[in-house]
Amino acid sequence: MNLRSIMKENMNEMDSFHVVKKMPHIHCARGPKGCEKCKDYEKKGDTWALVKILLTPGEWARPITQVILKGQKIHAEYDIEMRFNDIIDAKKYAQDHEIEIQMF
Ligand SMILES: [Zn+2]
């Protein structure tokens, strides 16, 4: 099932949602294989982040992440909105704001 059909069936008006997820530091859509800056960023490792998942394609190519939406794994563009110091911070923020933590 692709993203578009999931959107049609379930999402209607929703064009984005938030998750808390461990994310790599990525600079642009080219990724570490195509971009020196991405290679540098990648060395920082994965950290917990507040991630805005975008269900409609943006004007420019963003990196893609895998998330679970309505029980289905999908690939979608995203923006990192915040980084957390550790999982304790991440969990607290997720609880306070009723945002789903995704670990897989
Ligand atoms: Zn880059």
Sequence ranges of the domains in the chain:
3-102
Measured between alpha carbons, how far is 100 from 57 in angstroms, rounded to an integer? 22
56 confidence band (pLDDT: 50, 70, 90):
confident
At 103 the pLDDT is 87
**Cβ proximity of 4 and 85 under 8 Å:** no
**C-alpha of residue 95 to centroid of ligand 1, in Å:** 32
Q: How many CB atoms lie within 10 A of CB 86?
A: 9
Q: pLDDT for 7-35, tens place per residue?
A: 555 555 678 999 999 998 888 888 888 99
Ligand 1 center–CA 56 separation, angstroms:
22
- The pLDDT value recorded for residue 81 is 96
CA of 11 to the centre of ligand 1 (A): 31
Q: Which amino acid is at 18?
A: H
Question: Would you say residue 102 has pLDDT above 90?
Answer: yes
Confidence of residue 59 (pLDDT cuts 50, 70, 90): confident
Measured distance CA(65)–CA(76) in Å, rounded: 6
In angstroms, the CA 75 to CA 67 distance is 6
Pairing relation of β-strands 47-54 and 16-23?
A: antiparallel
Alpha helix stretches (DSSP H) within the chain: 3-6, 36-42, 87-97
